Structure 1
Amino acid sequence: MNGLLQTVRFKIIAAMAICVVIIALIGAYSASTISGLNQTVLDEYSGTVVPIRDLGEVRASAIDSRLQLSRIALGRDAQKTRAAAQLADQDLAQLAKAWADYYPARVTDPSERAIADKIDAAMGPFRDSATQSLQRFNAGDFDGGQQLEIEHAALAQNLVDLVNQDIAVNDDEARAFSADSERHAHTALIVAIALVLAGLAVAFAASVFLLRVIMRPLNGAITVANTIAGGCLESEIDANVGGEFGELLGALKRMDGQLAGIVRGIQHTTESVALAAREIAAGNLDLSARTEEQAASLEETAASMTEITETVKQNADNARAANGLAGDANDLASGGDAAVREMVGTIQQISGSSHKISEITGVIEGIAFQTNILALNAAVEAARAGEQGRGFAVVASEVRSLAQRSATAAREIKELISSSVSMIEGGAHQAGRVSDAMGQVREAIKRVSDIVSEISSASEEQSKGIEQVSSAVTQMDEVTQQNAALVEQAAAAAQSLEQQADTLKRAVGVFSFAQAARHAFAAHAQHGHAARQAQPSFG
């Protein structure tokens, strides 16, 4: 609870609450006063203004009705009498209406009621005399009507005097209401001014109180923040202040301690970074020299690989040429083998034709044999016939001779064809052996072509492999050169890092610590420097 009372939030809310209460009191009093004045005005209006208005209408209607009756009595004109009678009737009606609005509802004072009762008592004879006079005038009895008009005038004067008395009473009441309202308004004004002055005084006091409560610890927090901003860390900060400013000062104190730790860490890290940057720069120089040597070796290797690649490409070209020649020889052997096979086929066809001729010759030999037998039979028959068959015997002898020669020729042809068939079959066998030899030659050429093709493929693959190796060596050379450039860039970056570490060290040097903290930091820095010197250098 005490902590809550010490907070700025509570103090501001309390001050604002007091101001709000005062404003509410002023507002409530003003509303009550205005409401009272409004009710007073309404009472004055309904109690005095409206009755005076109604009594004025009664008086005006009475006077006007008397004037209308006087005009009728003096004029004695029937047409004018009717017009004046209508106006008199209207005045009487207006009088009755105004009197009904006033009496008895708006009568409040006893003295006013006494006069109002007299007016109400005189109101009956006044209306009766006016009515009777108008009846005489309307009937044309102007003399009788004039006599009644004289009586009516006296009653009207009495009524008007009573109404004037009642108006005077209401006028006195109105003055009394006005004076009373003025007193109330003056009192309300004085009280309102007093409340406003009191509210202003309280508001001023609350403002002064809030300024004292807020500005004193706020100035302290600003001083602490300016001290930290000026680079002075670990200064004495009194955070034993209640409320939010106590929390703010506590947070500033914690921030001061954390900043001190961060600055110490940055100073220590800066020394380490500077030393590491120097070591990296030295190592980069050594690495750069070795990278340049490696790049030179790779350049020589790339040149050698280029020469080997050209030699292998030449061998591959020769192998491809030999493969082409082997292919041509294979094509020629294939053509010779095909020609031999065609020749064998032709010989076989000739052999088949010879067999057919031999068969035909056998048929001719059979025919000759049959002809010979027929000729022999014909000769036998001719011999039997004797002299008559002698000519037929000669023909049969000639036919037998021709048959014998045909058989001899057929045997000779058959022997020749048999000899040709034997020779053709020998040639066919010889052509078959030649075809087999050509097939073996073609297979040998094909094997040579396959071997040369394999040599060509191997040479091409070897050439591609050597090209890849050469490309890899070239890439290694390029990468090595890039590495050399990167090493130079790394050396420049290490130098820049060392410069930035020096810049950061100078920037952090802006901050200062308490004396004991500085001694502790110096001892810690010496210990860290010794540890870094004991570390092995790069490269």
Structure 2
Amino acid sequence: MLSNITIKMRLIATMSVLGVLIALLGVMSIISLKSANNSLNEVYSNQLASTQAIGESQIALGRARFTMDRVMVHPDAADAKDILVRSEQFLEASDKSWKVYLGLPQSAEEKSLSDDMDKKRNDYISNGMLAMNKALRENNIEQADKLMMTGLSALYRTLDQAAETLTQYQATSAARMYAESQSSYQTQVTMAIIGMVVGALLTIISSILLLRAIFGPLDQALRHFGAISDGNLANDIVITRHDEMGALLTGLQKMQERLSTTVRGVRDGSGAIATASNEIASGNLDLSSRTEQQASSLEETASSLEELTSTVKQNSDNARQANQLAVSASDVAVKGGALVAQVVDTMGSISESSKKIADIIGVIDGIAFQTNILALNAAVEAARAGEQGRGFAVVATEVRNLAHRSASAAKDIKMLIEASVLNVGAGSALVSQTGTTMDEIVASIRRVTDIMGEISAAGHEQELGIGQINQAVAEMDTVTQQNAALVEEAAAASEAMQEQAAALAEMVSIFKLDAAHSGPAAAKPALRKPVVAAASTALKRPAVRLAPVSVAAAKPRPAKPAADNSGEWEEF
């Protein structure tokens, strides 16, 4: 029956029982500690306080009686009044302590005893102490002596007996509480020992049962694991439990069954793998030969494209140089046109300056003419003056001569200036025509430059296009070389696959399967080492080395049925 209870439930039950036991021990310990604490609290806060209050009250009464006795012995002392005041203070202190005691909790029996003592105490104080204090204040020594000898002593003995009875009751109560505390302590110790013994027994029994429930199935599982590691998959795993160990053995049983199925599948599949790898190796031989032919054709194509690329590149370079020369000629023509324009502007400025000089010469000629007229008028006036004007007439004649010479010189200069203006005008016309011609030359050179630029651009585009074609051919050659290498790797892989299939068949042959389910072992296929043409590894690369461009992987073709392998390679 215990085999049907899970280990988890056993652990929970054991821990629960131990937990309840520990909780009970804890509760009992708390109750015991609380009881002991209450007893100590009762002794401290009630019994001890009561005894202390009663003792302080009685001591204060004794001191009051002692002070009165001193006054009776020395009634005429100077401090007699002060001693009586101190006696009254002691009585007040005694009343205060007694009231403290009466305020403490009391049992019925203690209440009866305290009431009796309170009555006797009041009688002692009122009829004894206060009466004696009054007689001493009135200096009535005889009355005080009479009170002390007759009533005061009897009242004190009665009060002292009541106080002793009450104190004895306090001591008896404290002893009873101590005995109860000791009894409770012994009970709790006994219960704790019983609980610990029971807990230890439960722990030992539970540990033994759990160890048997865990290690027995574990030993069985370890034996089965050892048999499986030795290759024996035919052992029967008997399951008699329904707990976690039973689940472990069930899992082990399923693992053994699935491992047996896997080993049988591996045995059956290893032969098929060897046969398929042999066929793959045969196909790789044909593929390697065709890849070699394709690589040779691509090599010739790459060589032709290399020559075409070189020619187009040379044409493109020549067109680029001609374009640069045309651009330089255009720049020179533009600069020449600018210089001709500056010459035209300069010739215009010279023509304007010549015209201004001609105008100035005309002004000078007019001034000379007017000077001549004025000199003539002066000579006429000098002739009229006679001898007085002769000297002036000579001067006027010289002035006329100078004016005539100035007019002649101005006329000559004017003629020269006019000739110069005509020459400058003709030069300006020629320069203007030259500027127009230079503009036409610049326009023509620009058209030539544009045409050469278009030729250069077309040549560059052709160069790029042929370069891309060459690059594509180089990539095709690279891919072909890679395909050849992959074919070799596939051939090597197929050979390795054959070897692995044989090794796998040999490895699984160590497993011993159930005779009812195991079939005949797969026959080892004859290994045939594929012969790959060595020439494929020595294919030449094209001379042109362009930057490699990533080639997108081709999508795999759908696999054809394995029934017609020869037709598959023929279609490739």
TM-score band, normalised by the shorter chain? 0.5 to 0.7
Matches within 5 A, 1:15-26: 15-26=14-25
Match in the other structure for 1:163: 163
CA distance in 1, matches of 2:512, 2:249: 20
Look up the match of 2:92.
93
* Contact kept? 1:62, 1:95, Cα under 8 Å: yes
Structure 1 distance, partners of 2:98, 2:467, is: 135
Q: Distance in 2 between matches of 1:8 and 1:57?
A: 70
2: CA distance, partners of 1:44 / 1:464: 115
Instruction: Please name the residue that 1:121 is paired with.
Output: 119
CA drift of 1:205 comes to 1.7
**Fraction of identical pairs, as percent:** 31
The superposition leaves residues 42-91 of structure 1 with CA deviations (integer Å, 9 ceiling, x where unpaired) of 55556643432232223212212111222333344666334433432332
Deviations 1:418-437 (A, max 9, x none): xxxxxxxxxxxxxxxxxxxx
After TM superposition, the score normalised by the length of structure 2 is 0.57
Contact 2:234 2:514 in 1 (8 A): yes
- Equivalent-residue separation in structure 1 for 2:275 and 2:51 (angstroms): 111
- How far apart are 1:209 and its partner, in Å? 2.1
CA contact 1:267–1:508 (8 Å) conserved in 2: yes
Q: Structure 1 length normalisation: TM-score?
A: 0.60
Taking a change above 3 Å as real, the CA distance of residues 85 and 515 of structure 1, as seen in their structure-2 partners, is farther
Partner of 2:67: 68
Equivalent positions of 1:27-426 (< 5 A) are 27-44=26-43, 48-76=47-75, 80-102=79-101, 108=107, 110=109, 116-128=114-126, 129-141=128-140, 144-145=143-144, 147-149=146-148, 151-303=151-303
Maintained 8 Å contact 1:264/1:521 = no
Q: Determine the C-alpha separation between the residues in 2 that align with 1:35 and 1:474.
A: 100
Residue of structure 2 equivalent to 1:492:
492
- Are the structure 2 counterparts of residues 489 and 92 from structure 1 closer, same or farther at C-alpha, using a change threshold of 3 Å? same
Question: Is the CA contact (8 Å cut-off) linking 1:3 and 1:242 kept in structure 2?
Answer: no
Q: Structure 1: which 5+ residue stretches go unaligned?
A: 321-457
The answer to whether the 8 A contact 1:46-1:106 is kept is no
The structure richer in helix per residue is: 1
Aligned-partner residue type, residue 169 of structure 2: V
Matched positions, count: 398
The alpha carbon displacement at 1:256 in A equals 1.6
Report which of the two structures shows the higher radius of gyration computed on alpha carbons.
1
Change (3 A) 1:99 1:271: same
Judging changes above 3 Å, is the alpha-carbon distance between structure 1 residues 154 and 480 closer, same or farther for their aligned structure 2 residues?
A: same
| CA–CA distance in structure 2, aligned partners of residues 86 and 161 of structure 1 | 28
CA spacing shift, 1:474–1:20, aligned 2, 3 Å: closer
* Preserved contact between residue 67 and residue 83 of structure 2 (Cα < 8 Å): yes
Quote the RMSD (CA, aligned, Å). Answer: 4.6
Deviation at 1:127, TM superposition (A): 1.0
- Deviations 1:92-132, CA, capped at 9 Å, x for gaps: 2232233344459755475x666545433321232122223
Q: Secondary structure at the match of 1:514?
A: coil
Amino acid at match of 1:492: A
Distance between the aligned counterparts of 1:13 and 1:180, measured in 2? 40
Q: d(CA) in 1 for partners of 2:111 and 2:464?
A: 140
CA 1:6–1:521: 2 relative to 1, 3 Å:
farther
Uncovered stretches (5+) of structure 2, i.e. residues with no partner: 320-457, 527-560
CA contact (8 A) 1:57 1:98 kept: yes
Check the 8 A contact 1:22/1:199 in 2, yes or no.
Answer: yes
Q: Is the 8 A contact 1:130 1:149 kept in 2?
A: no
Distance 1:312 1:131 in 2: 150
Match of 1:237, SS state, is coil
- Deviation string for 1:184-203 (max 9, x for gaps)? 32233223312321222122
The question of whether the paired residues in 1 share the 8 Å contact of 2:35 and 2:181 is answered with no
